[in-house]
Amino acid sequence: MRRDFSPPPKKSKKRLYIAALVIIVLFVWFFSTKKGSEAVDKSVSTVIKKTQPDFPVISTKGLTDTQKSMLQLVKQEYDKAPKSYDMTVMKYTEGNKESWCTDFISWIYSKAGVPFTNPNSGFWRIPGVLTLQQQYKDAGTYAEASSGYTPKLGDVAFYIGAQTPDNSSAEHAAIVLKVDKGIITTIGGNEGLGIMRIRSESLQANISKSLVGFGQLE
């Protein structure tokens, strides 16, 4: 029996090209839609969750209602493993692609019922670290890191200097979760490679990372 090794008809090749083109177009369309974007965000968040520590166990004994609300909110957001600039981060920034550490803090404070007031816009979101720091100073609720003040859950830690936890700028802020035996635990947005991160280090180690002071919650 003689085998036919001749190439397939041109019509068959044309059909293959058309099918491949349709698949490529559908693939591009899917990942350009909101559904596709959310699928990518979810995949990235899953990877981040596997490399991040579990949310710390924090006793609610003695906490105010505002602190309890903040604790619930930050845990809820941490579980989403947000990363620049996924859907969760864009919620904090109201759609702006910017350094989002204080956007995250502003969002938490607003949802907890103690919103900031931006001196420039009058709105709840304060995207500038120095602007937020100055607001605490003007209100008389700011404590220098060297003052001996022990921060509490909900306070804001400010980092100003050459080395900050976000590794990309000289200004950063994070929310204090607890201080235990000289170890401070914070949760900060836009840290490391643009993720939300929980850090537990000595106060002295934080000072070496440009910790300058605390904005007091209440």
Tell me the pLDDT tens digit for each residue of 65-85: 999 999 999 999 999 999 999
How many domains is the chain partitioned into structurally?
2
Looking at the fold, whether 86 and 150 belong to one and the same domain comes out as yes
| Domain assignment present for 109 | yes
pLDDT band for 9, please (50, 70, 90 cuts).
low
Looking at the fold, whether 130 and 94 belong to one and the same domain comes out as yes
Amino acid at 206: N
Q: Is the dihedral of CA 35, 37, 40, 42 positive or negative?
A: negative
Q: How far apart are CA 170 and CA 179, in angstroms?
A: 24
Asked if 165 contacts 129 with a C-beta cutoff of 8 angstroms, the reply is no
Q: Is the pLDDT of residue 120 over 70?
A: yes
Looking at the fold, whether 121 and 200 belong to one and the same domain comes out as yes
pLDDT of the residue at 40:
46
Q: Is the pLDDT of residue 183 over 90?
A: yes
Looking at the fold, whether 38 and 116 belong to one and the same domain comes out as no
Q: The tokens 């635990």 sit on which residue?
A: 185
Looking at the fold, whether 96 and 151 belong to one and the same domain comes out as yes
Looking at the fold, whether 96 and 160 belong to one and the same domain comes out as yes
Average pLDDT, the chain: 85
User: Whole-prediction pTM value?
Assistant: 0.78
pLDDT of the residue at 168:
77
Looking at the fold, whether 100 and 155 belong to one and the same domain comes out as yes
Looking at the fold, whether 23 and 95 belong to one and the same domain comes out as no
Range of the domain at 29: 11-51
More confident residue, 50 or 161: 161
Q: Is the pLDDT of residue 180 over 80?
A: yes
